[in-house]
Structure 1
């Protein structure tokens, strides 16, 4: 299991992201987004275990 936290100073940015999430995911699907998060935070992962 992986979890992320949000700095309270960035709360407004996160709220805006959530409000615009549907439009955002028209450009990039969940799997692409998740891979980019893992890569940006330099987290090792094996693609075989990410999806059902």
Structure 2
């Protein structure tokens, strides 16, 4: 999961801030009641909030 505060017209594209675990590694998505994702499984999707990605 990542988020950005950059505007859509950022010259170099949006800078993504990634959710990381305690060691600084990417934090895998886990939802209670659902099985853990496999090594190469990744949910995809995006949404905007108040006109921001």
**TM-score for both structures, normalised by structure 2:** 0.27
Larger Rg: 2
Q: Could you say which structure has the higher strand fraction? A: 2
RCO comparison, higher one (Cα < 8 Å, 6+)? 2
